[in-house]
Amino acid sequence: MPFASVVLDIPTRALESAFDYRVPAEFEASCLVGTTVLVEFSHRDVVGYVVAIKGEPPEDVPVDRVLPVKRVLAEPAFDKVSARVAAWMARQYACALPDAIRPFLAPGQTMKVRRDGDDQPWYLVVERSGPVDERWVSLTEEGRDFRPRANASRQRQVLAALADGPMRMAELSATLPGSSSVVASLARQGVVSVEEHRRLRGMGQTSLSSAQAKRPVELTKGQKDALAAIDEARRGGRGDVVLVDGVTGSGKTEVYLDAIESALAEGQGAIVLVPEISLTAQTVGRFRSRFGDAVAILHSRLSAGERFDQWDLVRRGQAKVVVGARSALFAPLSQVGLIIIDEEHEGSYKQDSSPRYHAREVAAHMAQERGCALVLGSATPSLESLERCGRGSWGGVSWTRVRMPERPGGAQLPRVRVVDMTQQFASGGRSIFSAPLREALDQVVERRQKAVLLLNRRGFANFLMCRECGAVPECPHCSSALTYHERTHSLVCHSCGRSWPVAAYPNPAARCPNCGSPYMAAYGVGTQRVEDELRMILPDDVEVIRMDADTTRSKNAHQKLLEKFDGAECAVLLGTQMIAKGLDFPEVTLVGVINADTTLKLPDFRAAERTYDLLEQVAGRAGRGEDRGQVIIQTYWANHPAIQAVLRHDRGLFTRSELADREEGNYPPYSRLTNVILWGLRADLVRQYTDAVAALVRREVKNKPGWEVLGPADCLKAKLKDRVRRHILIKSPLDAEPGELLARCVKEAKVPRGISVAIDVDAQNLG
């Protein structure tokens, strides 16, 4: 008689292990690993997930006392390997087992046992997704010659996506908001046709799978090297990692496409992760054009039903290439040959709610479990990946870096110029705009071109800065920038919690700790103020478009602002980080960074790395057209290695000094950093229990080499939605598994209801 190991989904009680149930004869064929089942636990019905089937009864219970599986609620969503990966995630990221299993389940389905009050009966809720949009859109013969009006950018984007081959309507509107009305109007003009899936299939696979895949005539040397390394890693079957380190536009996507093609030829599939904002209609189109309907897209803007539909194509083996955001990693693909993570340095690969996993780390583990290759791609690889490649191996598999330093066809990178704002200040400049940036803007106006201005801003963090030398007071114990709190007029360290009244730092007589200047000012300017000043210096016939959290709140506002910029004759787009990526307008000849510094001095050890990534990305935006374009970076720290590296197109300038600093401070990639956060409405209790957890952790790690505990301190966002937040930072050696130890300490502290705790292992966001 078979027995099933079932992980129970009980939210209030994080049960650490699986429980064994008997599989009655009627369910022997359907109760498999990966199914959702209904069982009894503690005298009530509970939903659970089968993680193993075994022939032997459990050892500790008499066979006749083992309860039966009562119902099978859903078909298998994961296999044995995935069950092992989930168990690994639960251990690594200190989360409950059902939380770690949930990402593997079919999207858009809810199965829960609920009750409406403490004395009410339990009942089962099963929600399945609604009907699915099966329509496909394709260009008609006439459509191929259709030319949209100059400012009809949405039409242009739809046509560009379809030029690569037909697409599902659902994908098109998920990746290009508002495209359904565009499609309707194009259909009326006979430019596109909309058909049901089945009919399209009836026309024969050819219309889809042999779509007009545009292949380059010849691959660059870098591309060939990358492909060879990937094929070798894949055939090795050990979970080896290849880092494709290629400048923006060097043809990384082309490499992925070819690598997938050779995997498919050998009967293997691929999972491709891209950041949500890069999952555009164009990206989808490129994969479709090469692989036709063997591609499934997983995107958060798809409806629940559509997501289920795509997921199910993968489970049934019809789609062998999965393209999606972070969670696509858990798609039920069998025979995985490749896992590809594009823009692997992106912080968004870390999930910020339970399970707080990092897709890169899970993928590396998964690749070993499945014996496939992991491909990481970026123009600005993470220091973690660079360091591992430097060692040559990590975690028992090889890490290989392949460089692609050139754009195909010899396209040039833009000219970069750094403006030292302390010099501007010294020569009397008090404007937000330096003289060189003003001149460049004037030129753009004169030539009726376009400019993009980046205001580097992360909102809440404020600090004091010397306008004469650029110095920012740092915590002497943590070498982390001190943040300035206006209300109390104090400087606070968010790593260790120490604070100083401003006048007393470092001594009341001299204001600047570095040069003694009295010009210490709170640093940070808002987009509104820049916009006002910009309008003052530009003639009235230049459009100024501001894009920030305030102007993009409404639905599709982001898209509309970009369209306005696209349609304008001469315009300046002013925006925060959100404009740095995905933007691809050939008429942009100038990219200005108003303040490269705010992120450089965030109290976060990754501040410099993020700044470097951002500047390098934004620099890649200029001069995509004929004109080579220029980038002007205004900064108070012109000599900072991150800035110098962008200026000289030499990443080593940055990584060498940054890695040395990290090693000295025992920060990642030389240690693992965990952020334990407690929050709640009552400040006294939050403080009390954060202290208690910190004391327990300190006791546990006292004699362990390489462990270090910082804090407790207020979080950078000390208050969020009325909840007070405090945190503790824990460094541990690379081979340690801090999740388990910390979970134990939190449990022992007996944190009461009303106070939430998060254990964020390998934290990316220290706010």
How far apart are alpha carbons 208 and 292 in whole angstroms? 5
Among 339, 372, 478, 742, binds Zn ion (CB under 5 A): 478
- Kindly state the smallest distance separating residue 251's Cβ from ligand ADP, in Å: 3
Task: Choose one: 218-226, 298-306, 425-433, 722-730; the region binding ligand ADP (CB under 6 A).
Answer: 218-226
Three-state DSSP state, 442: helix
- Is 731 within 8 Å of 765 (Cβ atoms)? no
- Kindly state the smallest distance separating residue 240's Cβ from ligand ADP, in Å: 22
Task: Choose one: 44-52, 230-238, 488-496, 652-660; the region binding Zn ion (CB under 5 A).
Answer: 488-496
Question: Per-residue string for binding with ligand ADP, 221-240, x by CB under 6 A?
Answer: --x-----------------
Site size toward ligand ADP, by CB under 6 A = 15
Task: Give how far Cα 259 sits from Cα of 235, 296, 325, 375, 420, Å.
Answer: 12, 17, 19, 10, 44
Three-state DSSP state, 177: coil
Among 30, 193, 207, 248, binds ligand ADP (CB under 6 A): 248
Question: Per-residue string for binding with Zn ion, 287-316, x by CB under 5 A?
Answer: ------------------------------
Asked if 251 interacts with ligand ADP (CB under 6 A), we say yes
- Is 689 within 8 Å of 706 (Cβ atoms)? no
The amino acid occupying position 99 is D
- Kindly state the smallest distance separating residue 668's Cβ from Zn ion, in Å: 18
Nearer to ligand ADP, 220 or 690 (CB): 220
Nearer to ligand ADP, 252 or 610 (CB): 252
Nearer to ligand ADP, 439 or 584 (CB): 584
Which backbone phi and psi does 730 adopt, to 5 degrees? -125, 125
Asked if 35 interacts with Zn ion (CB under 5 A), we say no
Among 240, 254, 531, 613, binds ligand ADP (CB under 6 A): 254
- Is 375 within 8 Å of 337 (Cβ atoms)? no
- Is 178 within 8 Å of 557 (Cβ atoms)? no
Among 68, 190, 202, 216, binds ligand ADP (CB under 6 A): 216
Nearer to ligand ADP, 200 or 321 (CB): 321
Task: Choose one: 58-66, 106-114, 192-200, 212-220; the region binding ligand ADP (CB under 6 A).
Answer: 212-220
Among 22, 168, 234, 252, binds ligand ADP (CB under 6 A): 252
Asked if 23 interacts with Zn ion (CB under 5 A), we say no
Asked if 219 interacts with ligand ADP (CB under 6 A), we say yes
CB atoms within 10 A of CB 606: 23
Tokens representing residue 270 in the block:
């691929």
Among 2, 34, 165, 249, binds ligand ADP (CB under 6 A): 249
Nearer to ligand ADP, 64 or 218 (CB): 218
Nearer to Zn ion, 468 or 563 (CB): 468
Question: Per-residue string for binding with ligand ADP, 416-455, x by CB under 6 A?
Answer: ----------------------------------------
Tokens representing residue 142 in the block:
């006439």
User: 343 touches which of Zn ion, ligand ADP, none (CB within 5 to 8 A by kind)?
Assistant: none
- Kindly state the smallest distance separating residue 671's Cβ from Zn ion, in Å: 17
Going by DSSP bridges, is the β-strand pair 393-394/520-523 parallel, antiparallel, or unpaired? unpaired
Q: Is the link from the previous residue into 355 a cis peptide, with omega within 30 of 0?
A: yes
Query: At how many degrees (to 10) do helices 557-567 and 153-163 cross?
Result: 100
User: 220 touches which of ligand ADP, Zn ion, none (CB within 5 to 8 A by kind)?
Assistant: ligand ADP
User: 44 touches which of Zn ion, ligand ADP, none (CB within 5 to 8 A by kind)?
Assistant: none
Among 207, 280, 354, 517, binds Zn ion (CB under 5 A): 517
User: 131 touches which of ligand ADP, Zn ion, none (CB within 5 to 8 A by kind)?
Assistant: none
Task: Choose one: 68-76, 211-219, 582-590, 735-743; the region binding ligand ADP (CB under 6 A).
Answer: 211-219
Task: Choose one: 79-87, 214-222, 481-489, 609-617; the region binding ligand ADP (CB under 6 A).
Answer: 214-222
Query: At how many degrees (to 10) do helices 607-619 and 651-665 cross?
Result: 170
Asked if 462 interacts with Zn ion (CB under 5 A), we say no
Question: Per-residue string for binding with ligand ADP, 384-413, x by CB under 6 A?
Answer: ------------------------xx----
Q: Is the link from the previous residue into 508 a cis peptide, with omega within 30 of 0?
A: no
How far apart are alpha carbons 270 and 604 in whole angstroms? 35
Among 469, 600, 614, 631, binds Zn ion (CB under 5 A): 469
Task: Choose one: 247-255, 587-595, 712-720, 751-759; the region binding ligand ADP (CB under 6 A).
Answer: 247-255
Radius of gyration (C-alpha) of the chain in whole angstroms: 28
Residues 6 or more apart in contact with residue 564 via CB below 8 angstroms: 543, 545, 571
Q: What is the DSSP letter of 751?
A: P
How far apart are alpha carbons 323 and 297 in whole angstroms? 5
Nearer to ligand ADP, 226 or 386 (CB): 226
Helices (H), 176-294: 179-188, 197-202, 206-209, 221-236, 252-265, 281-291
User: 520 touches which of ligand ADP, Zn ion, none (CB within 5 to 8 A by kind)?
Assistant: none
Tokens representing residue 515 in the block:
């040069």
Site size toward Zn ion, by CB under 5 A = 14
Asked if 380 interacts with ligand ADP (CB under 6 A), we say no
- Kindly state the smallest distance separating residue 246's Cβ from ligand ADP, in Å: 5
Among 493, 591, 631, 758, binds Zn ion (CB under 5 A): 493
For the purposes of burial, counting CB atoms within 10 Å of the CB of 723, is it exposed (0-12), middle (13-18) or buried (19 or more)? middle
H or E element in which residue 312 lies? helix 304-315
- Kindly state the smallest distance separating residue 492's Cβ from Zn ion, in Å: 9
Nearer to ligand ADP, 408 or 524 (CB): 408
Among 515, 568, 578, 659, binds Zn ion (CB under 5 A): 515
Residue matched to tokens 């309008």? 535
Residue matched to tokens 């003289």? 435
Task: Choose one: 215-223, 363-371, 428-436, 748-756; the region binding ligand ADP (CB under 6 A).
Answer: 215-223
User: 254 touches which of Zn ion, ligand ADP, none (CB within 5 to 8 A by kind)?
Assistant: ligand ADP
How far apart are alpha carbons 632 and 626 in whole angstroms? 19
How far apart are alpha carbons 355 and 100 in whole angstroms? 6
- Kindly state the smallest distance separating residue 765's Cβ from Zn ion, in Å: 19
Sheet with 483-485, strands from edge to edge, namely 483-485, 490-492, 499-501
User: 397 touches which of Zn ion, ligand ADP, none (CB within 5 to 8 A by kind)?
Assistant: none
CA-based end-to-end distance of the chain:
52
Asked if 278 interacts with ligand ADP (CB under 6 A), we say no
Asked if 250 interacts with ligand ADP (CB under 6 A), we say yes
Sheet with 321-324, strands from edge to edge, namely 295-298, 321-324, 269-273, 336-342, 373-378, 241-246, 397-404, 393-394
**Secondary structure (DSSP) of 59-100:** SSS-GGGSPBP-EEEE-----HHHHHHHHHHHHHTT--HHHH
- Is 462 within 8 Å of 487 (Cβ atoms)? no
- Is 482 within 8 Å of 473 (Cβ atoms)? yes
- Kindly state the smallest distance separating residue 298's Cβ from ligand ADP, in Å: 20
Binding site for Zn ion (CB under 5 A): 466, 468-469, 471, 475, 477-478, 493, 495-496, 512, 514-515, 517
Q: Contact residues for ligand ADP (CB under 6 A)?
A: 216, 218-220, 223, 246, 248-254, 408-409
